Structure 1
Amino acid sequence: MAPESTSAPLVESAEESAEEPAAEIAEETAAPRPAADRPVPDPATGWSRLTTRRWLQIGVGGALAVLAVLGVFGVWVLSHEGTVTDQLVDRQSSALIASIRYEAAMLDQETGIRGYGLSARSDFLAPYNEGRTREAAAMRALRTLSVGPRERADLALVTQRAGIWRARIAGPIATAKGDAVTHLANERAGEGKTEFDALRSAMATQQRHLAQERAAGRADLRRVQTERDAVFIGIAVVILVIAVLVFVGLRRGITAPLERLAADTGQVADGDFGHVITGHGPADLRRLATGVEAMRQRLTEELAFSGDARDRLADQAEDLRRSNAELEQFAYVASHDLQEPLRKVASFSQMLRRRYSEQLDERANQYIDFAIEGANRMQALINDLLRFSRVGRVQEDRVDVDLEEVYATTVDTLSITIEEAGARLSHDPLPTVTGDPGQLGLLLQNLLSNAVKFHSPDRAPEIRVSAERHEDMWHLAVTDNGIGIGPEYAERVFVIFQRLHTRDAYPGTGIGLAVCKKIVEFHGGTIGVDPAHEPGARITFTLPAQASEPETTGET
């Protein structure tokens, strides 16, 4: 009872002393600031009234407009270059190639006709026939590619000369047979040479004009490429200028004012609370500086009134630390004094066993063993309660705890109580968690002993420990078919020294479930009563998941 009477006034005085400066600070905070102390907004006119967003909108809009114009001009230059390139490659060069192929086809025809006229052998007509096929293909290409007046005139002259040569020389010789072939070839040899020379002259003129067209096209392409390079160099220069302007604008309009504001706030943060913060740059940055200056003034005022409260709170915290140390020392001394009678019980029981074991029957010796074992377990329980009293104030080492082993040890500890009550215990596969083995054992011992103690006189106790995993938490429950807990007592049963029954009806101190609640909360879980379960009671609690679920079940 001494620790309770000592600690309660200390806590109450700490709360009262903490509330006093808090109330004074709240009153001072709620009081309106004098008009003279409030920061005066920085007057701005013209461009200086624009905010950072507006400056960015104007700058980005102008840059995008310039880039759009440059982009359109660049696209036009590339399109023009593509048109000139297509004209050169697809028409002018292709027309010259088709004219050369046409000339080669006509030369093959002339060679075939001349050979056939000299030998009258039909195999000499093969080059003539192949040449006619290639002549037709080249002529189709020339007709498609010859779009200018001069090109069409040259094509018409070539077609005319080729037609005369074929009508006067090639056609008659190719259709003649036997001796008539040689006779006709000798007769028209001079005329054939004259006509084919005229055809060659026409084809040469055509190719010369086509070559001139291609040379002009190549000159146009080089000129367009030069224009393209100049345009893109100009675009690059403009983009570079825009980038420089953007950098300078951001530096002078945003980063420099922010750096000055950061320097001012840093000086205040270093402890110079009297340093005045001034605003520069766009309107929103000046408003930000004005707000920070107002905050600085308000904090300065608050700090002026918080020194005394901080000193009083420090004194009260020191009193609380001293009181807690005294309480811890008292708990240690009390537990040590409680263990001394247990040592005597264990010692005298052992002496009784050694001296009179041969005179006592087996059951008497078993009773002595139970007394010795109970005394030892009581000593271990007192040590666990001492460690539990330091939870939250002294760092505890946590290890992996197999709840299956903890359950088996707990059931063995409560074996006499379970046997006397005729209780039947069962459990799901229990997980391995990280925590304090003694506290987790005490948790299961309190829950199982309560389930056995508060059994119904009308039926044998049936108790089950269940475990389910939901995401990163284990949900465990101890369920019994005893007298149960009313919904109105669901919160009260976890308050220390709160009892729902008289000591005559059910023995106990009323601390068991309060201890369970603190143990579960120390391990990062929650505990409560399931009001929907009946008959009996169902205590649910959670523990953080650390290991996979075992595969076997057990019953006792």
Structure 2
Amino acid sequence: AGLRDLKAVQDDIRTWQEKVARPIAASPPGTPSPEAAGRVADGKKDFDRLRVAMAAQQDRLRDDRTRARDDLASTMRLRNWVFATIAILIVVLAGIVFEALRRGITAPLEQLGSDARTIADGDFGHPITPTGPADLRRLGGEIEFMRRRLVRELDFSEESRLRLDAQSADLKRSNAELEQFAYVASHDLQEPLRKVSSFTQLLQRRYGGQLDDRADQYIDFAVDGANRMQTLINDLLDFSRVGRVHHAHQSVDLGAVMKRTLSALSVSIEESGAVITCDELPTLVADPTQMSMLWQNLIGNAVKFRRPGEAPAIHVSAEQDGSLWRFAVTDNGIGIDPEYAEQVFVIFQRLHTKDTYKGSGIGLAMCKKIVEFHGGTIFVDPAYTDGTRIAFTLAIEPPATGIASTEPAQARTDA
């Protein structure tokens, strides 16, 4: 319709121009004519017709513009509704996603964390129920497996603790029995043994040489056996007291202890012609009685197990190594085979017969017990082959121990 109106207007304009405008424009100026007046009259009709066509076109354009405005407004309203609907859908979807995450991930994680905190607070029997997505269920399952294993380990530890308590009670009872045995050995056994030793010695003095050789030999056996039994009992008592009776730790000058030891062994040192040299010894926190026993056994063994026809040469060395002191007693004696390096520290383990070297086989076992009681170790140095080297360590301050027993205090009378 718009194109038809435009074509009609263009046709009316063209007709008016051909009939009126161009002929008038082509007439010479200043020469009006009756024909020109007639064309003007006809041109007015054509121009009116043109005006009517243009007015119709304007009306139609206004109607089209109004419809276009209405269509645009309707389209904008539709667009706004669409955008609003999309925004609402986005908000709803976001809420749904958030709630789904909360229920599917956040809530299971919070529950898992709560269960883990409950277990961490000591309630190891609290179960963990895996929930949520597959990954969270797998994680919950792993934690539940760990909890069950921890419960098993705790049950085993509790069972071990109960067994350890029972063993500790047995050990206390055994220690009490050992203390009672030590008391009996030091009182009830010593007196009969002294009587046996005394009367056999009286027999030896009074009837020695009056009986036959066989009787004299029997008396000698009895006297020697009684003396060795008394020595063995005393050594056993000393061994049992290590770490049980003597535990008065104090500052001890090992140099002074060594001087007292050499004085106590002066007879055997003088008889053997032993030459003893010593490095400067430190002052440690230790039990003075046990230190005397340690030096006396080590120096006494070095003097005793000498080579025939050769004077003992003994050297005591000392060197600090951090929180430990390393000592060594080196001699030129008969030595110890490497295969017996561990055996010599076992109680009653002798490498020689009692006729060859006197002793009870307790000395080095007692040294080992004393050294370990003071936080050290003792061993035979296998690298030294010109005799024997007993090396050991002592802590500057011995470790704390729970051993604190004493001899029974009840009054007893000797038999």
What range is the shorter-chain TM-score in? 0.5 to 0.7
Q: How does 1:76-95 map to 2 (within 5 A)?
A: none
Residue 283 of structure 2: aligned partner? 432
Residue 270 of structure 1: aligned partner? 123
Residue 516 of structure 1: aligned partner? 367
**Deviations 1:196-219 (Å, cap 9, x if unpaired)?**
xxxxxxxxxxxxxxxxxxxxxxxx
**Deviations 1:65-94 (Å, cap 9, x if unpaired)?**
xxxxxxxxxxxxxxxxxxxxxxxxxxxxxx
**Deviations 1:443-484 (Å, cap 9, x if unpaired)?**
111000000000111311111101112222211000111111
Matched, 1:444 2:295: yes
Residue 387 of structure 1: aligned partner? 241
2:242 is paired with a residue whose SS is: helix
Residue 404 of structure 2: aligned partner? none
**Deviations 1:28-55 (Å, cap 9, x if unpaired)?**
xxxxxxxxxxxxxxxxxxxxxxxxxxxx
Structure 1 residue identity aligned to 2:127: V
In the alignment, the residues of structure 1 paired with residue 315 and residue 155 of structure 2 have an alpha-carbon distance, to the nearest angstrom, of 62
1:434 is paired with a residue whose SS is: strand
Residue 145 of structure 2: aligned partner? 294
Matched, 1:534 2:388: no
2:368 is paired with a residue whose SS is: helix
- Classify 1:263/1:280 alpha carbon distance in 2 versus 1 (closer, same or farther; 3 Å): farther
Residue 474 of structure 1: aligned partner? 325
In the alignment, the residues of structure 2 paired with residue 480 and residue 303 of structure 1 have an alpha-carbon distance, to the nearest angstrom, of 53
Quote how far apart the aligned CAs of 1:294 are.
Answer: 1.9
Cα contact 2:108–2:131 (8 A) shared by 1: no
In the alignment, the residues of structure 2 paired with residue 541 and residue 308 of structure 1 have an alpha-carbon distance, to the nearest angstrom, of 38
Residue 113 of structure 1: aligned partner? none
Cα contact 1:466–1:476 (8 A) shared by 2: yes
Residue 490 of structure 1: aligned partner? 341
Structure 2 residue identity aligned to 1:462: A
What TM-score do you get using the length of structure 2 for normalisation?
A: 0.53
- Classify 1:282/1:457 alpha carbon distance in 2 versus 1 (closer, same or farther; 3 Å): farther
Structure 2 residue identity aligned to 1:535: D
Cα contact 1:473–1:542 (8 A) shared by 2: yes
- Classify 1:388/1:341 alpha carbon distance in 2 versus 1 (closer, same or farther; 3 Å): farther
Q: How does 1:135-534 map to 2 (within 5 A)?
A: 256=110, 259-266=113-120, 269-270=122-123, 273=125, 275-279=126-130, 287-298=138-149, 318-337=169-188, 385-388=239-242, 390=244, 396-534=247-385
In the alignment, the residues of structure 1 paired with residue 249 and residue 160 of structure 2 have an alpha-carbon distance, to the nearest angstrom, of 39
Quote how far apart the aligned CAs of 1:336 are.
Answer: 3.7
In the alignment, the residues of structure 1 paired with residue 266 and residue 167 of structure 2 have an alpha-carbon distance, to the nearest angstrom, of 49
* 5+ long unaligned stretches in structure 2: 1-101, 196-231, 398-415
Higher relative helix content: 1
In the alignment, the residues of structure 2 paired with residue 305 and residue 379 of structure 1 have an alpha-carbon distance, to the nearest angstrom, of 43
In the alignment, the residues of structure 2 paired with residue 284 and residue 270 of structure 1 have an alpha-carbon distance, to the nearest angstrom, of 25
**Deviations 1:338-387 (Å, cap 9, x if unpaired)?**
6669999xxxxxxxxxxxxxxxxxxxxxxxxxxxxxxxxx9998875453
**Deviations 1:507-540 (Å, cap 9, x if unpaired)?**
0011110111111111111111112213211100
1:277 is paired with a residue whose SS is: coil
In the alignment, the residues of structure 2 paired with residue 257 and residue 341 of structure 1 have an alpha-carbon distance, to the nearest angstrom, of 78
Structure 1 residue identity aligned to 2:140: A
Q: How many pairs does the alignment contain?
A: 261
In the alignment, the residues of structure 1 paired with residue 299 and residue 340 of structure 2 have an alpha-carbon distance, to the nearest angstrom, of 19
* 5+ long unaligned stretches in structure 1: 1-248, 345-377, 547-556
Cα contact 2:284–2:396 (8 A) shared by 1: yes
Q: Which moved more, 1:506-515 or 1:324-333?
A: 324-333
Cα contact 2:243–2:370 (8 A) shared by 1: no
- Classify 1:300/1:540 alpha carbon distance in 2 versus 1 (closer, same or farther; 3 Å): closer
Residue 57 of structure 1: aligned partner? none
1:457 is paired with a residue whose SS is: coil
- Classify 1:440/1:381 alpha carbon distance in 2 versus 1 (closer, same or farther; 3 Å): farther
**Deviations 1:372-419 (Å, cap 9, x if unpaired)?**
xxxxxx99988754531627xx9x342111100110111111111111
Residue 73 of structure 2: aligned partner? none
What is the root-mean-square deviation in Å for CA atoms of aligned residues? 4.2
In the alignment, the residues of structure 2 paired with residue 513 and residue 343 of structure 1 have an alpha-carbon distance, to the nearest angstrom, of 27
In the alignment, the residues of structure 1 paired with residue 293 and residue 193 of structure 2 have an alpha-carbon distance, to the nearest angstrom, of 19
1:450 is paired with a residue whose SS is: helix
Quote how far apart the aligned CAs of 1:302 are.
Answer: 7.5
What TM-score do you get using the length of structure 1 for normalisation?
A: 0.41
Cα contact 1:335–1:382 (8 A) shared by 2: no
Cα contact 1:400–1:434 (8 A) shared by 2: yes
- Classify 1:526/1:488 alpha carbon distance in 2 versus 1 (closer, same or farther; 3 Å): same
Structure 2 residue identity aligned to 1:401: V
In the alignment, the residues of structure 1 paired with residue 289 and residue 317 of structure 2 have an alpha-carbon distance, to the nearest angstrom, of 20
In the alignment, the residues of structure 2 paired with residue 426 and residue 520 of structure 1 have an alpha-carbon distance, to the nearest angstrom, of 22
Residue 3 of structure 2: aligned partner? none
1:406 is paired with a residue whose SS is: helix
1:475 is paired with a residue whose SS is: strand
Cα contact 1:261–1:279 (8 A) shared by 2: no
In our comparison, the structure showing a higher alpha carbon Rg is: 2
